[in-house]
Amino acid sequence: METNHTPDPTQPSAGRARQDTIYRSGVSGIRPAVPTDAVGLERAARRTMSRKAWAYINGSAGEGRTHDSNRAAFDSYRIVPRMAHGVKERSLSTTVLGQELSSPLLLAPVGAGALVHPDSDLMIARAAGRTDVPYVVSNQGSSALEDIAAACQGARTPGKSSENTGHWFQLYWSTDEQLVDNLIARAEDSGAGALVVTLDTTVLGWRPQDLNLGSLPFSRGQGIAQYTSDNRFLRIVRQRLRDKVSGGTGGVRVTPAAVASLLSIARHHPGPTFRNLLSPEPRASVETFLDIYSNPGLDWDLLATLKQRTSLPVVFKGILHPDDAERAFDVGADAIIVSNHGGRQVDGAVASLDALVEVRERIGDGPTVLLDSGVRTGRDVAVALALGADAVLLGRPHMYGLAVAGEQGVREVVENVLADLDLTMALVGAPDIAGLREMELRRSVPAPSRVTARRQL
């Protein structure tokens, strides 16, 4: 859990500072680079993104039930503000995994960002550095981890940034154990503050938006930069070429779209595009990635080996059941992220916010618990913190900001969320993050009851 942080009366609050910037610019006819409301931001991003980018970034599993339940859970809570509380200054700072953070916000890992912008990860990293928010670098990133870490650190303000490391690293557990060790070592060498192991994507969920377009960014060489920059992965690729191992489930018809895909693979692979077009390695890298990137056999015994494989704090992402939360800490997790992958994996899964409440009831206040999925505003962050989260990850909104206005768009999305959080704290009487624990919430609809899939006959 977080420690108390005393507000600094010499520093302007995040909310007032952001309002002041916007209104002063407005005098000159300058508007924010991105809409300040969640719905407007999403609409603006949709107008900007390609169909394939929108399908991947905004898409969800099945009929979108989990995606919708995430938002419905947040919307079901009502805040009861308190008056005359005398809160003049607020502190958003907190401590997570022993790291001093300037706010309880992190940027969630989002793969295949090159769909939105070729330099997506570098732009997000710089925005994260400038807003002093840790960026959880995606294992399916579009730039190498080392370059992303350098961009994040290079954008931080000396003397003004908090003491957090600037970035964490997300790991998808490959079927190749040496590759797993390589990725862990690279995370350590890059200065990552934690290793975030995603548990809920041992296979891809059924995602109609992508399927209807026949679009998987990885098959076009997008989102595999952590692999093509890894010497162990490249050794596997070259061995497969020597052994004439073919990947996939069948041949590819030669069509204009297939040629475009080949060009995309060549452009995203390290090295000159023309050379890559003449080499079998880029295509083999894509096929190898699709074969080995995730391990359907991942189990608790494998996860228990992590504490012997890394000195980094270990975070398990994708926990929804209280039993799994207990098991995660039993096998050595330092923290968990309650998450349903933004509704992208199981259609009709429990909302992350509802799962958070059940997890906290089971494990108590001591263990470190973060949350993602469904978070759109600073008010949402406040509700999640009040219900037991130690920190919150923001996913789709920062990608929407990237689509609308690049690096500045990401930065403004973060600033807007933190401003909204700060003003919510001011209006409910919470001087710090610990004070949000006292915020009164009422649920406008009954909480979902726990049922089993087995019907009573």
Would you state the pLDDT for residue 245?
A: 80
Q: Is 15 among the domain residues? A: no
Domain count, the chain: 2
User: Within this chain, do residues 59 and 142 fall inside the same structural domain, yes or no?
Assistant: yes
Q: Give 149-187 pLDDT, tens digit per residue.
A: 999 999 988 776 766 779 999 999 999 999 999 999 999
9 within domain boundaries: no
Q: Six-digit token pair at 256?
A: 């204009």
- Identify whether the C-beta of residue 319 lies closer than 8 Å to the C-beta of residue 328: yes
CA distance 26 to 24: 5
CATH number for the domain harbouring residue 151? 3.20.20.70
5, 117, 341, 398: the active-site residue: 341
Residues 134, 271: one domain? no
Mean pLDDT of 201-212: 98
Q: In this structure, are 378 and 363 located in the same domain?
A: yes
Note the pLDDT tens digit of each residue in 97-126.
999 999 999 999 999 999 999 999 999 999
Kindly state whether residues 281 and 258 are assigned to the same domain.
yes
Q: How far apart are CA 392 and CA 384, in angstroms?
A: 7
The reported pLDDT for the residue numbered 157 is 81
78 has which bridge partners?
442
* Side-chain-facing half-sphere of 231: CA atoms under 13 Å: 3
Domain that holds residue 306: 30-207+296-443
Asked if 267 contacts 260 with a C-beta cutoff of 8 angstroms, the reply is: no
Are 137 and 161 contained in the same domain?
A: yes
Q: Is residue 168 part of a domain?
A: yes
pLDDT digits (tens, 9 = 90+) for 221-238: 999 999 999 999 999 999
Identify whether residues 431 and 313 lie together within a single domain.
yes
Tell me: do 309 and 285 sit in the same domain: no
Q: Are 47 and 115 found together in one domain? A: yes
Per the prediction, the chain carries an average pLDDT of 94
Is residue 85 among the annotated active site residues?
no
Average pLDDT of span 285-311: 97
> Which 8-state DSSP code applies to residue 3?
P
If asked whether residues 248 and 306 sit together in one domain, one would say no
Judge whether 282 lies within some domain. Answer: yes
231 with 200, same domain?
Answer: no
Query: Which pLDDT band holds residue 289 (cuts at 50, 70, 90)?
Result: very high
Query: 40-94, pLDDT tens digit by residue?
Result: 999 999 999 999 999 999 999 999 999 999 999 999 999 999 999 999 999 999 9
- Together in a domain, 278 and 397: no
9 has pLDDT over 80: no
Looking at the fold, whether 130 and 203 belong to one and the same domain comes out as yes
> How far from 284 is each of 41, 139, 171, 210, 251, CA to CA, in Å?
38, 19, 22, 23, 13
Share of the chain above pLDDT 90, in %: 90
Higher pLDDT, 359 or 8: 359
Confidence band for 253, pLDDT divided at 50, 70 and 90: confident
* Cα separation, 32 vs 17, whole angstroms: 14
